[in-house]
């Protein structure tokens, strides 16, 4: 690998603690050195149990909070609603900033209670961290809790660096606006984001997508972020379970390593050193 042209990428597995296969798959990939970050769904009743398994990986990958307003867990807790409803409330500024702040604090408390540390980063399930109202509430809470810290949790800026309708929709959800807020607050952030697709296709289709994403990584000093959603197996009640299983099979295999080499890319942790233990 040509060190002068090397590209750095954070490969982040979303939805830790969603269900047992997701947590098991993420831990397995972390052991293999195929991930550099994961984001946790702390509203899941599994979080307390699954935090213990993830602790074995402490120091090997960044572990952050996956803010959640749209999952079955959030809806069970009485404040969550569908993605479409939350998008409409955000666009019309009908969401209560104060109530959002209270829920962000609650989810951060749940993360820290079972992880025994502050999150390395904060992002959002279905990119809700950058919606109108939500992004302002988030920045206020982060500044209050961690503004005086030497190592602040980094933010995911979901500015999607790939063609397609889904990429444009995700970016237009407020990526530029959140980036401006982070910049004004001198808050660390990682962008652009790759890895968006419709969770369709075969294993070979996903491998080809990953190969393309890795080659699309910009040559810059700061790392880009590539999200993934792996699971050891597909759970019956998980709408994207088959896609999760395909992602795990690819990331655990040798093709992923070869595609990183071909793209002159390496996995890094924004809060730590480059991961090199494939």
Cis, peptide link before residue 192, omega less than 30° from 0? yes
Strand partners of residue 65: 40, 122
N-term to C-term CA, the chain: 14
**Secondary structure (DSSP) of 98-122:** HHHHHHHHHHHHHHHHHHSS--SEE
Is the alpha carbon torsion for 15, 16, 18, 23 positive or negative?
Answer: positive
Per-residue model confidence (pLDDT) at position 276: 42
Strand partners of residue 123: 66
- Tokens for 158, please give them: 């979901």
Which CATH superfamily includes the segment(s) 3-267? Glycoside hydrolase/deacetylase (3.20.20.370)
**Reported pTM:** 0.92
Q: Where are the alpha helices (DSSP H) in 130-237?
A: 134-146, 165-172, 175-184, 203-216
Per-residue model confidence (pLDDT) at position 278: 31
Q: For 227, phi and psi rounded to 5 degrees?
A: -90, 150
Per-residue model confidence (pLDDT) at position 179: 93
Per-residue model confidence (pLDDT) at position 34: 97
Torsion, Cα of 135, 140, 143, 144 (10° steps): -140
Residues 6 or more apart whose Cβ sits within 8 Å of residue 65: 39, 40, 42, 107, 108, 111, 119, 121, 122, 123, 153
Q: How many CB atoms lie within 10 A of CB 137?
A: 22
Per-residue model confidence (pLDDT) at position 158: 87
Tens digit of pLDDT at every position of the chain (278 positions): 445 578 999 999 999 999 999 999 999 999 999 999 999 999 999 999 999 999 999 989 999 999 999 999 999 999 999 998 998 888 889 999 999 999 999 999 999 999 999 999 999 999 999 999 999 999 999 999 999 998 899 999 988 765 565 556 666 778 899 999 999 999 999 988 999 999 999 999 999 999 999 999 988 778 899 999 999 999 999 999 999 999 999 999 999 999 999 999 999 998 865 544 33
Taking CA atoms, 6 is separated from 18, 211, 253, 274, in Å, by: 34, 16, 22, 12
Q: 182 by DSSP, 3-state: which?
A: helix
Spans of all domains in the chain: 3-267
Per-residue model confidence (pLDDT) at position 31: 96
Per-residue model confidence (pLDDT) at position 64: 97
Per-residue model confidence (pLDDT) at position 173: 78
């Amino acid at each position: 690998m040509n060190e002068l042209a090397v590209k750095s990428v954070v490969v982040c597995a979303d939805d830790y603690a969603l269900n047992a296969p997701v947590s098991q798959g993420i831990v397995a990939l972390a052991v293999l050195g195929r991930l550099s970050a994961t984001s946790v769904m702390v509203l899941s009743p599994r979080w307390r149990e699954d935090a213990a398994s993830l602790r074995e990986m402490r120091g090997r990958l960044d572990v952050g909070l996956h803010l959640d307003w749209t999952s079955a867990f959030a809806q069970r807790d009485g404040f969550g609603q569908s993605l479409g409803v939350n998008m409409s409330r955000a666009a019309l500024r009908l969401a209560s900033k104060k109530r959002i702040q209270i829920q962000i604090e609650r989810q951060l408390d749940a993360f820290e209670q079972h992880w025994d540390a502050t999150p390395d980063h904060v992002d959002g399930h279905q990119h809700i961290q950058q919606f109108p109202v939500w992004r302002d509430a988030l920045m206020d809470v982060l500044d209050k809790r961690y503004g005086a810290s030497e190592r602040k949790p980094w933010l995911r800026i979901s500015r999607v660096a790939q063609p397609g309708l889904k990429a444009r929709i995700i970016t237009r959800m407020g990526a530029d606006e959140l980036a401006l807020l982070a910049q004004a607050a001198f808050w660390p952030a990682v962008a652009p984001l790759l890895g968006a697709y419709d969770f369709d296709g075969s294993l070979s289709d996903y491998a080809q997508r990953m190969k393309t994403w890795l080659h699309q990584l910009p040559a810059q000093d700061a790392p880009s972020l590539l999200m993934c959603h792996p699971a050891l197996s597909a759970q019956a009640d998980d709408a994207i379970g088959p896609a999760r299983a395909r992602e795990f099979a690819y990331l655990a295999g040798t093709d992923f390593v070869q595609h990183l080499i071909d793209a002159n890319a390496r996995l890094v942790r924004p809060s730590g050193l480059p991961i090199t233990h494939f």
